[in-house]
Amino acid sequence: MRRSRTPIPGQASLRQNVSILPPMSWLVPRIRPCPFECVLEAGPVPSTSTIWELPETTRNIEGLDDQGRPDPAYATALGLLEAPLGRRAAAAAVDVGLLILVMTPFVVLALPVVGRFLTGRIDWYGVVNHPDAMPTLVGTAVSAVLVLVLVSVQIGCTGVLGWTVGRLVTGIRVIDVATLERPGVRLALLRGASVWVPILIVVGPLAVMASSLGRVQGRHRGLHERMSRTWSVDVRSGLDPYDEKRMRLARKIAVAEPPLRSRSLPTLNAVVQGHGYQPGPRTGAGVLGVAEPHPPGRRHVVGLMGLAVDETDAPASATGAFLEQPAPPDPVPGAPAPRRASDALTTQNRPARPSPAPTTVERPLTQPVATIGTAATRAQGDPPPPAAPESVPRTSAGRALLLRLDVGTVLPVDRTLLLGRQPTHPDGEPSSATSLVEVPDPSLSVSKTHVLVRPVGGAVEVVDQGSKNGTSILRAGEAHALRPGEVGVARVGDSIHFGDRTADVLGP
């Protein structure tokens, strides 16, 4: 009797719900969720869609030449050094000594009986019935197990870590000569077999190891190393190839292009250094008009501290002032040529003392300034100079000079100012007597801490802070560059150039 199956309500036959479409390039099954049925549908997929793809297995190995051979220059650029032959021989001696050590049970217990058998003094029956047969068997078995364990560990460590016990002691590692990475167990096994298989002839291993004395492609690689494509490197003096972080960094540095360096731009320091392009003095004629020249009979003294003046100079006031000068006398035959006023760059000009015979005191052109004032520039034992003439313009007491930057900022010079892109205090600690002035400079011609400006009398002192593009004082169209650490004095009407920026000294 044939039983009929009653279908569950809401459930359709799977065969009835599968739509058979014409042959397409691909048929992708899609499962439509349903509480009572699971229907398999098929739909066309464009032939251009990618269903799956094999991963890229080709590896780009760095350090190979055009013929696919390892390039020794690349390994040298990474910092890998070839292991010295002396230490390689010492490592081999340690490994051989360790092998002899684990064979001690065989040598002590079994070698006497085996020696008699090899010389023909006893046969197999005599070996089996010998009183020392059991110790011979135990010694041979123990030595065989120890040798097997030692060889397995040595080969495994060579393939994974690059060292045996002897190489670990002597600071040598074995790497793949092509990839400069761990050689793997297969190459380590091939390396060991190429050394110990020739033991069938007595001098086999020695001949294989002695082949390392020759140089192949600039390296001491023996026959066993060439067969296994390995290389022994020195990790004491060179780079450890098993340090993944350092190797990754060394590979990046070896293949990286040298950084581009910007060309040195011409600055006012070229005047001092005597080379390079010397730009002309700056002028504000395009904005403020041409400056009026000083009248005849007045000279211009540039205020740079640290330059001495001989005793025959004319009386002068404080540094940087425009001084009234008498007309120059007629030259006397045989007398030295008169000095130019612009050559006298001092911090304090003293009136000449009456003397029957003028003498010249030789002093260095520049000297470090320890104290601001007349005591720092006059010699020991000289009497204090008289007061300066009243022809020098003076600022009223309690009112500071102003410093107007070319960006429009006006700063009162009532304390020490440090100007730069990102100025910092010299000692790293903020000081109430020093103010930091950040000068915007998109061209980066201004150093972070470029120049120091501080008030002194009726002028300001300017000290270059070892900037890259230099500092100079411009007066009457003549620029005087300051060396790093040199102190200069600027007065009202002067301009201070630092980098591509300009600061004008204004009255209060």
The predicted structure's pLDDT at residue 397: 46
505 φ/ψ angles, rounded to the nearest 5 degrees: -90, 120
466 Rama class: left (phi>0) / alpha (psi -120 to 50) / beta: left
14 pLDDT above the threshold of 50: no
Are the C-beta atoms of 459 and 318 separated by less than 8 Å? yes
Name which of 135-144, 190-199, 240-249, 315-324 the model is least confident about.
Answer: 315-324
The Cα–Cα gap between 9 and 440 comes to 83
- Three-state DSSP at 199 gives helix
Name the pLDDT band for 279 (thresholds 50, 70, 90): low
Residue 170's Cβ-count burial label (10 Å; 0-12, 13-18, 19+) is buried
The predicted structure's pLDDT at residue 267: 55
Are the C-beta atoms of 32 and 41 separated by less than 8 Å? yes
The predicted structure's pLDDT at residue 206: 77
Name the pLDDT band for 261 (thresholds 50, 70, 90): low
Comparing C-alpha atoms, which of 478, 423, 428 is closest to residue 453? Answer: 423
Name the pLDDT band for 55 (thresholds 50, 70, 90): low
342 pLDDT above the threshold of 50: no
Structure tokens at 297: 């009979």
Comparing C-alpha atoms, which of 190, 159, 178, 169 is closest to residue 231? Answer: 178
pLDDT (tens digit, 9 = 90+) per residue, 194-210? 887 776 665 667 778 88
What is the average per-residue pLDDT within 296-319? 42
- The domains of the chain, with CATH numbers, are 9-50 (no CATH), 72-255 (no CATH), 270-325+343-352+361-380+398-508 (2.60.200.20)
Are the C-beta atoms of 497 and 472 separated by less than 8 Å? yes
Which secondary structure element, helix H or strand E, spans residue 506, and what is its range?
strand 501-506
Are the C-beta atoms of 343 and 309 separated by less than 8 Å? no
Are the C-beta atoms of 443 and 500 separated by less than 8 Å? yes
Helices (H) and strands (E) in the chain, counts: 13, 19
The Cα–Cα gap between 28 and 249 comes to 47
The Cα–Cα gap between 390 and 222 comes to 94
Residue with tokens 């390079």: 276
The predicted structure's pLDDT at residue 392: 36
Query: Partners of 438 in the beta sheet?
Result: 420
Name the pLDDT band for 172 (thresholds 50, 70, 90): very high
pLDDT (tens digit, 9 = 90+) per residue, 63-92? 888 888 888 888 888 889 999 999 999 999
Which secondary structure element, helix H or strand E, spans residue 482, and what is its range?
strand 478-482
What letter represents residue 16's amino acid? Q
Name the pLDDT band for 300 (thresholds 50, 70, 90): very low
Size of the chain, expressed as the number of residues it contains: 508
Comparing C-alpha atoms, which of 482, 485, 489 is closest to residue 465? Answer: 485
147 pLDDT above the threshold of 80: yes
253 pLDDT above the threshold of 90: no
451 φ/ψ angles, rounded to the nearest 5 degrees: -145, 150
The predicted structure's pLDDT at residue 315: 41
The predicted structure's pLDDT at residue 320: 40
Q: What share of the chain is helix, strand, coil (3-state, %, to 5)?
A: 25, 20, 55
The predicted structure's pLDDT at residue 363: 40
Comparing C-alpha atoms, which of 292, 293, 341, 281 is closest to residue 314? Answer: 341
The predicted structure's pLDDT at residue 350: 45
Please, what's the b/e burial string for 458-488 (b: 16 or more CB within 10 A of its CB; e: otherwise)?
bbbbbbbbebbbbbbbbbeeebbbbbeebbb
The Cα–Cα gap between 9 and 36 comes to 9
The Cα–Cα gap between 328 and 314 comes to 11
377 pLDDT above the threshold of 70: no
Centroid of chain to Cα 40: 64
Are the C-beta atoms of 278 and 459 separated by less than 8 Å? no
186 pLDDT above the threshold of 80: yes
238 φ/ψ angles, rounded to the nearest 5 degrees: -120, -170
For a pLDDT cut of 70, what percent of the chain falls above it? 59
Centroid of chain to Cα 273: 28
